[in-house]
Amino acid sequence: VAMMTITGGHMLASEEKPFGTEGCRYAEPGIIDVLPIKMISGGSNALDAPASMIIDEWLAKNLFGKKDPLNKIVRVDGQRDVRVTGVFQNFPKGSTFGPGSVFNQIHLIESWAEYIAENPDLKTVEDRWDATPFQVFARLRDQADLASVSTQVIGLLNGHGRADHPEVDRKSTRL
């Protein structure tokens, strides 16, 4: 299980040139193992350090050309320096996070520690699930029973600031 913010945009600058892009998110380190992220360089611990980011091949090419982006510094929004600690394969076109998915595309993921450092007030709502700018992702075992998992998730929601007491839709197993 890992949390991730909704998609936003940043103005990025490398030694080559400035480049603006959407598809920027912050996520907990576990996101690399939860989502279908195929790392080309760096590993599953690439988001462990503050001021770290992983980028997709498309963004790596736009920021660094043919140079290896690993361990290079990217200036974000003209204010802070973040180290590239991993490069992942582009998400396929037509996938949830791929090109053409305006609100969900992912080209860059920065460390959760960086997000909290930039927004210290968010630390107070990190464990409240009633009104936050976070998405929660979970990877289930192949044989998981979705109805059972939905019931467990509902139980978790009710303990984290939710006053609406959501119910499981048994037909679709959607919350």
Q: If DSSP states are collapsed to H, E and C, what string results for 30-57?
A: CHHHHCCCCEEECCCCCCCCCCEEEEEH
pLDDT value of residue 129: 58
**Position 158 pLDDT exceeds 60:** no
- pLDDT, tens only, 127-153: 665 556 677 777 888 888 888 877 776
pLDDT value of residue 104: 79
- pLDDT, tens only, 65-119: 999 999 999 999 999 999 999 999 998 887 777 776 666 788 999 998 888 888 8
Residues 133, 43: Cα–Cα separation, whole Å: 26
Query: For 157-162, what is the mean pLDDT?
Result: 52
- pLDDT, tens only, 6-21: 878 889 999 767 888 8
pLDDT value of residue 97: 79
- pLDDT, tens only, 31-63: 999 898 999 999 999 999 999 999 999 999 999
Residues 19, 163: Cα–Cα separation, whole Å: 43
SS3 10: strand
pLDDT value of residue 163: 54
Distance of CA 45 to the CA centre of its chain: 14
Locate all alpha helices (DSSP H) within the chain, ordered by sequence: 31-34, 57-64, 112-118, 146-158
SS3 86: strand
